[in-house]
Amino acid sequence: MTAVDAESGGAPDFEPVAVAAHYDPPPAGIDPDRAKGWMKRLWPLVRAHHRTLVIGVATGVVALAIQAAVPALGRSAVDAALEGNRQALWIVFGLTAAFGVGRLVFGGVYRYQLFKLGWSVETDLRAIMYDHLTRLSFSYYDRTQSGEVISRANSDIRSLQLLLAFGPLISMNVLMFVMALGFMVYVHPWLALVALAPLPGVYWFGLKFRNQVFPLSWVTQARMADLATIVDENVNGTRVVKSFAAEERQIALLGRSAQRIQWANVEITNSRARWNPLIESLPRLGTAMVVLYGGWLAIEGQVSIGTLLAFSAYVIMLQVPFRMAGFVLMQGQRASAAAQRIYEILDEAPEVADSPGAVDIVDPQGRVGFEGVCFGYHTETPVLRDFTLHIEPGERVAIVGSTGCGKSTVARLLDRFYDVDRGSVRIDGVDVRDVTLRSLRHTVGLVLDEPFLFSASVHDNIAYGRPSASRAEVAAAAEAAQAHGFIGELTHGYDSVVGERGYTLSGGQRQRIAIARTLLANPKVLVLDDATSAIDVTVEEAIHRALYALMADRTTIIIAHRLSTISLAERVVVLDQGRVANTGTHADLLATDPHYVEILARRSHGRPRGLSDNGDGKLWPVGSGH
């Protein structure tokens, strides 16, 4: 293997297949300091769109300043009319018309910019979250429900977007509150004080509302994730549900989950019904007090009629933030709960990641080594115990053993889906923890027994590892996997779109497409994890004939259950309780290892298919000459 250090002249980010990016990466990330509040952690991402934010805020301030000045102009207009000053009335009319046009222009700009800010941050946050999800280790997905991840990536991010879009708009009303209050204090401080008298009660009720809504918002988001999990499992597992006629039971399960969400939402609604009327009505008490006291002042000649009307308009402006306070508090608590749920994912550190100074595998030879490997899936009982195995470049090795002995685990450790607890896994003598994940997984191609296909065309599924591959190259890979024939019988051939997870195809057809996908990527080390388990014997033999030629220059590890699959290997390794119990050729093991014979017999429910005793009391492959 030729390894290139990314820090000493190699490519900084190994990319086996060059694919042009069709989007701009997020301009910033989330603040990693967990001690900060949720908004402070989000601020670097908001600040990255500073131009949009500054334009939105600046034009919003101008728009609200114009709006705050209109009642003052109305005051002048009323007073001028009462005094019979026509010239002043025309001047006020012209200014009011100009302010109306200005409010239209600046109001439109600031709303557009602030909504743009909200959608931009949402887009960036989705990209950041998805990028992080792709980097998380398999151990995270082993313990996390898919519906919960989907919920956090969709509804939780949407909650943040709503606050970012509407929050600044509502905050502008606070600025208008300050402007209105400033005018009122300037004109008549005591009348202004009367208007403000109910506001401490508004603050207190708002605090009580917040303390009730926050925990309920967290519960609602969590239960929506549970509902998403149920829906996801029923959609993906619809064949199992229908085969057991369990539709009614699953509907009942979904109904119970929906009722739990209903309870939380009803409690939030009850809180809103209890506190919002108080929050919105108290400022109106201030209006009544202004009318009473202001009217008395006008009768006494201490304020003009225009001033009293202007005061009434400004009192309404004072009320706007409080009328919207309920929505802001509820949405703010929902966004806070959503942000914390999102940060739980973003704060999750990948257990498997490139180590500092990791090198790229550039010219692999295909030598594979396991040195004293011990590993367990977060349990006290390890799956592999002191597992040691060496495979030479170009060698074909079958790994055989009873269920649960660790055969598939060997493949997962080689591709570094998990890291070993003790010992090491090596490619060409280099620990896989010291090479980049991208180059490792380009070098080691894995075909699983349960292949996953995307809801895309057959061509795109086969070319997934090499998107730029030509139709001829895709067809050649399909031919080698014995998939070209049935693909040609599909309605649109290679352009036929398979259903979700490829369920419109049979199990054997999916496996053949998965084999073609891996062969097209042309890995130096090929791992077949029971990759032909769903394929009939005739087709399997044809695939094996094609694979013989393709295996000539590559190291092949075969996780085998069928005797026909084992026949591909030059050497067989027998696993027992996580250790190498024996190794040798198939014929030697049949002759000397009763445990190996027992494994084959158990798989074949008696005498292994394709074996004969030939009268000598020993099991031999049919046609072997023994």
- Report the CATH number at residue 203: 1.20.1560.10
Which residue matches tokens 């009722």?
A: 259
Separation CA 430–CA 440 (nearest Å): 11
What's the longest Cα–Cα distance across the chain?
A: 129
Q: Please indicate, yes or no, whether residues 279 and 390 belong to a single structural domain of this protein.
A: no
User: What would the mean pLDDT of 417-425 be, rounded to a whole number?
Assistant: 92
The answer to whether position 482 is within a domain reads yes
DSSP state of 152: I
Q: Tell me: do 458 and 311 sit in the same domain.
A: no
Cross-strand pairs, 371:
424
Same domain, 399 and 310: no
CATH of the domain at 418: 3.40.50.300
Q: Residues 252-302: pLDDT tens digits?
A: 887 888 888 888 888 878 877 777 777 777 777 777 777 778 778 777 777
Instruction: Say which residues have a Cβ less than 8 Å from residue 343's Cβ, sequence separation at least 6.
Output: 30, 34, 38, 41
Q: Are 277 and 375 part of one and the same domain?
A: no
223 within some domain: yes
Is the residue at 542 inside a domain? yes
Half-sphere exposure of 396 (CA within 13 A, CB side): 18
331 plus 421 within the same structural domain: no
Terminal-to-terminal C-alpha distance of the chain? 41
For residue 498, tell me if it sits in a domain.
Answer: yes
- Most confidently modeled range among 14-28, 177-191, 213-227, 362-376: 362-376
Decide: pTM greater than 0.85.
no
Residues 481, 522 within the same domain: yes
Per-residue confidence band for 614, with pLDDT thresholds at 50, 70 and 90: very low
Q: Is there a single domain that holds both residue 265 and residue 312? A: yes
Residues 452 and 310 in one domain: no
**Phi, psi values for residue 387, rounded to 5°:** -80, 120
Q: What tokens were used for 477?
A: 């890979």
Higher pLDDT, 76 or 40: 40
In angstroms, rounded to a whole number, what is the distance separating the alpha carbons of residues 70 and 78? Answer: 12
**Mind listing the pLDDT tens digit for each residue in 529-570?**
876 665 666 677 777 776 776 777 889 998 877 777 787 788
Tell me, yes or no, whether 337 and 387 share the same domain.
no
Segment holding 384, helix H or strand E: strand 384-391
Domain shared by 317 and 408, yes or no = no
Structurally, the chain folds into a number of domains equal to 2
Confirm whether 265 is domain-assigned: yes
Q: How confident is the model at residue 6 (pLDDT cuts 50, 70, 90)?
A: very low
Q: Would 13 be classed as within a structural domain?
A: no
Structural domain boundaries enclosing 551: 368-584
> Which residues neighbour 352 within 8 Å (Cβ) at sequence distance 6 or greater?
137, 138, 139, 416, 417, 418, 419, 437
Q: Do 487 and 518 have their domain in common?
A: yes
Q: Domain end: 280, 313, 346, which one? A: 346
Estimate to the nearest angstrom the gap between the alpha carbon of 283 and the chain centroid: 44
Alpha-carbon span 454 to 517, nearest angstrom: 12
Helix extents (H) in 84-198: 86-135, 138-143, 146-151, 157-187, 189-196
Query: pLDDT, tens digit, for every residue of 128-147?
Result: 888 888 888 888 888 877 77
Residue 98 shares a structural domain with residue 163: yes
Residue 280 maps to a domain: yes
In a domain, 595, yes or no: no
The structure tokens listed for 605 are 């429910």
